[in-house]
Amino acid sequence: MTRVLAIANQKGGVAKTTTVASLGVALAERGKRVLLVDLDPQACLTFSLGIDPEDLELSVHHVLTKGLAPTEVILTTEDGVDLLPATIELARAEADLLTRTGREHVLRTVVEELAEAGEDYDWILLDCPPSLGVLTVAALTAAEGVLIPLQCETLSHRGVGQLLDTVHDVRRFTNRGLAVWGVLPTLYDGRTNHARTVLETIAETYDLEVIEPPIPKTIKFAEAPAAGRSILATSRSSKGAAAYREVAANLDARAAS
């Protein structure tokens, strides 16, 4: 069975894309078949997996708005995960979809088409853009769960309520089964009490599960995207890579239970 998770937070720079790439590679290391979907017109996920969006003729935009089969666009990467890549054209897709019937369901349809084509992915991870627009709503509609990366600093709770309002709407109108799997603390500086306090406050205020372990802030992550490989490949034994492997093991266990 395919588990589809949306990695969402409308705030930029909270490590959504890093989380999608790292968790995806960690799950692939565990022998799972993984597809990552880049839903951000900035195409950072695509770029960080060693693919230059400018070299692509086909991308997720053609699947969402031009009726192309996902299997015609999916690429394999050096890191062992498959990728449905994005280019800047996706910015136009967002506008195009606004006037389309069934726009919330476009990604759910893609997931169904992959199943029908016999593509038996264990995990599909959706890298959402930093907004609560059409693409994020479509991702939440296609997913069984949402994971919220959160940088634990004073004002980070401000967006969480809004995101949860959107989740609530999605549950009501397009995807009854959507579950919040929890918040994943990212860019975490465990040396300060501050980070832990912020995290506890948010988890309590919104009644959210905290996914363990927190991902430590480390310079290795800042360097990885430029290398075109995931941190799990470039710094195999770093603390950040170890943390993502542990989160992947926990997700796997949750999916199996």
Residues in contact with ligand ADP by the rule CB under 6 A: 12-18, 44, 130, 186-187, 215, 217-218, 221-222, 225, 240
Distance between CA 33 and CA 148 in Å, rounded?
A: 22
Residue closer to Mg ion by CB (options 20, 111) is: 20
* Minimal distance, residue 248 CB to Mg ion, in Å: 19
DSSP 209: P
Tally Cβ neighbours within 10 Å of residue 153. Answer: 14
* Minimal distance, residue 45 CB to ligand ADP, in Å: 8
Residue 61, interface with Mg ion (CB under 5 A)?
no
Please give the full DSSP string across 116-163, using - where no structure is assigned. HTT---SEEEEE--SSSSHHHHHHHHH-SEEEEEEE-STTTTHHHHHH
Distance between CA 83 and CA 221 in Å, rounded?
A: 20
Binding-site size, Mg ion (CB under 5 A): 4
* Minimal distance, residue 17 CB to Mg ion, in Å: 3
Tally Cβ neighbours within 10 Å of residue 92. Answer: 13
* Minimal distance, residue 237 CB to Mg ion, in Å: 25
The residue sitting closest to Mg ion, measured at its beta carbon, is: 17
Residue closer to ligand ADP by CB (options 27, 114) is: 27
> Which tokens is 247 given?
């989160």
Residue closer to ligand ADP by CB (options 113, 159) is: 159
The interface region with Mg ion, picked from 13-21, 137-145, 164-172, 236-244 by CB under 5 A, is 13-21
Residue closer to ligand ADP by CB (options 171, 220) is: 220
| Residues sharing a CB contact under 8 Å with residue 45, sequence separation 6 or more, in sequence order | 17, 20, 21, 36, 38, 83, 85, 86, 127
Cα separation values, 36 from 19, 21, 85, 217, Å: 11, 8, 8, 23
The interface region with Mg ion, picked from 40-48, 68-76, 90-98, 188-196 by CB under 5 A, is 40-48
Binds Mg ion (CB under 5 A): choice among 17, 48, 136, 186: 17
Residue closer to Mg ion by CB (options 40, 79) is: 40
Distance between CA 65 and CA 94 in Å, rounded?
A: 9
* Minimal distance, residue 202 CB to ligand ADP, in Å: 16
Residue closer to ligand ADP by CB (options 114, 248) is: 248
* Minimal distance, residue 243 CB to ligand ADP, in Å: 8
Amino acid (one-letter) located at 83: L
Binds Mg ion (CB under 5 A): choice among 4, 11, 15, 16: 16
> Which tokens is 201 given?
């406050």
Q: Which residues bind Mg ion (CB under 5 A)?
A: 16-17, 40, 44
